[in-house]
Structure 1
């Protein structure tokens, strides 16, 4: 299996794992604050990632790292998870995912100046079309623009995009275990410290939910770290769109909700733009 294909498969697996995790975060967000949900997500995965990191390279690799970029990714992970957890409290998973789909477009736009990857004029047109799709989801009347849930998803998408780019830069020098370890460790430290003033005791019935979040979050973090290490950011990022199928399934199974026509239209515009970006990378770009 080539690294390119392995990266694509890792991304597909990561999206599936994170979709299960997000369903758990949505359930937790009904009882806990957004920052505590982010902290619980990190704490649930931390023991697994520590064991895996030590078993795959030892402790030495965790020290010889590029600290400034790891600190940046830690802060971005807090912003990404807390804002997304806040959004899930008010939005169906499908709508939150549809807005989050601007992230691949942001990543492609940032890949040029930050990674030196070529982004031609056709891709810039596709990025503009995709961003137009977010306006459809947010309602052209401006009603959705005032939605805190919608704004929180966009903050989460921007944080994720910058984190993905820095992850690809780190992948040139740092190991996958080191990247996973420091991202989740810094998430635990930053999010827990921020959540402590309003911390609520964890309910006994939520323990198994946290176990599921920890397992799926660990698998997802491994998959996405490998994906952005092995493949160009502009190839891995559009595969995020497979999350829409998971979101539709979970909204229907667990919350008995179906998307509105407006949301489907906006999501279709964003997905088509993103798939064009993927097609352009596999072919020639002008």
Structure 2
């Protein structure tokens, strides 16, 4: 198995790569949101994987990594793919009723969940100040799940929260898989297994693909999804995680831009307040972790 490309220290390039990656992922989410009026969440989950798959294969071929694909810990890959299916389907379901900005505001609780789960699963230490930030972020989620004071739960926000939980558990699995599997395996098998599983699960409510109307969206999903994955990998290779990780929150800026330009939607006040608290909590957790590790 070939060794991963060694990290280099180019903070500015890493920052630009991360911002571009988050922009591409936001573009992919916007394309998927546009498809929610024509296809079910599970079918769009399949399309997300299928549209990216050819580009992933080309990327791995260019990196000469195809020969390493079958050196894999299959049990963890299948579990991660199952989580990926639920994550994508739930997030896409949330986009049926929520603006991108609102969905992102709830979804950004994921980094807090990753930190909390790492204590139980990876036996990592979390300091009291980090726990305080996690509790504050979770309280903000509860605030956003009841945005109008009458409904116990917003279904869209609940779906985004389920997606965040699946994403958090999946990221814990990535830490386990990274100890034995090549980076290309993680991307290839995730998309392959999600595509197969979502295709099967989508069959009861399958809708004929409207190729003439939607091929630009299919292509956009494939290109932005793959491009975002490549750039985020580069970002973490070029700069320290403490510099790169907080930039994931720029998705709120891109999401707001797409909401206004494409759908003329402005986020609700309570979502902005709750999202701001979650982002502040997440950045605080990252900063405290980096400070503790020095």
TM (normalized to structure 1)?
Answer: 0.90
RMSD: 2.6
Contact 1:11 1:239 in 2 (8 A): yes
1:32 corresponding residue in structure 2: 39
Which has the larger displacement, 250-259 or 274-283? Answer: 274-283
- Match of 2:207, SS state, is coil
Contact 1:235 1:281 in 2 (8 A): no
1:63 corresponding residue in structure 2: 70
Which has the larger displacement, 11-20 or 74-83? Answer: 11-20
Q: Number of residue pairs matched?
A: 286
2:259 corresponding residue in structure 1: 251
Relative to structure 1, is the Cα distance of residues 132 and 63 closer, same or farther in structure 2, using a 3 angstrom cutoff? Answer: same
Contact 2:242 2:290 in 1 (8 A): no
Contact 2:246 2:283 in 1 (8 A): yes
Residue 200 of structure 1, CA deviation:
0.9
Relative to structure 1, is the Cα distance of residues 77 and 68 closer, same or farther in structure 2, using a 3 angstrom cutoff? Answer: same
- Match of 1:90, SS state, is coil
1:2 corresponding residue in structure 2: 8
Tell whether 2:181 aligns with 1:195: no
1:207 corresponding residue in structure 2: 215
Contact 1:108 1:234 in 2 (8 A): no
TM (normalized to structure 2)?
Answer: 0.88
Which runs of no fewer than 5 residues in structure 2 stay unpaired?
1-6
Contact 1:8 1:236 in 2 (8 A): yes
Which has the larger displacement, 135-144 or 187-196? Answer: 135-144
The equivalent position to 1:279 in structure 2, one of 280, 283, 287, is: 287
Contact 1:167 1:225 in 2 (8 A): no
The equivalent position to 1:75 in structure 2, one of 57, 64, 82, is: 82
1:105 and 1:89 mapped to 2: Cα distance? 25
1:124 corresponding residue in structure 2: 131
Residue 14 of structure 1, CA deviation:
3.0
Contact 2:14 2:236 in 1 (8 A): yes
1:155 corresponding residue in structure 2: 162
Contact 1:167 1:229 in 2 (8 A): no
Residue 77 of structure 1, CA deviation:
1.1
Residue 274 of structure 1, CA deviation:
1.0
